[in-house]
Amino acid sequence: MSYDFIMMKPRAEVMEIETMEDLGEHTLLRQDPSVLVEALSSLFPELAWEKETGGWCGSLEGGDTWYEFRIGAEPDYAWSVCTSDGAKSRSLVPIICDRLGLLAFDGQMNVLIWPAGHSHIG
């Protein structure tokens, strides 16, 4: 089993999201797959990518767990990060959010992880 996050890019003017229903075209930006792959590769040079029919799959051994990045072939509002469900921490997810200006939905804890400078879900 894995512990999954949905990664999204909030619009610059969005400082707070009241409910999960607030996530959509009016609060999120489409992310270009090639820009994401390049940004993540710059952030983590040891990241190994495979081009697949449906997009990109990247794998990385972090200091706390393994990470798998799934990015579709076309620009989209969301992509995923999967980690080990047995890991005690998933320290790279907040780093990705802060460095790339993304927010992450933690599906297991039902919370959003925001980049620095944004409010958390109400």
Query: pTM for this structure?
Result: 0.89
Contact 69, 57 (CB under 8 A): yes
Give the pLDDT confidence of 62-111 residue by residue, as tens digits. Answer: 889 999 999 999 999 999 999 998 888 899 999 999 999 999 999 888 88
Give the pLDDT confidence of 13-35 residue by residue, as tens digits. Answer: 776 776 778 888 889 999 999 99
Query: Within 10 Å of residue 49's Cβ, how many Cβ atoms?
Result: 15
- Go through the domains of the chain in sequence order and give each one's CATH number: 2-113 (3.30.310.250)
Instruction: Please tell me the distance from the alpha carbon of residue 26 to that of residue 87, in angstroms, as a whole number.
Output: 34
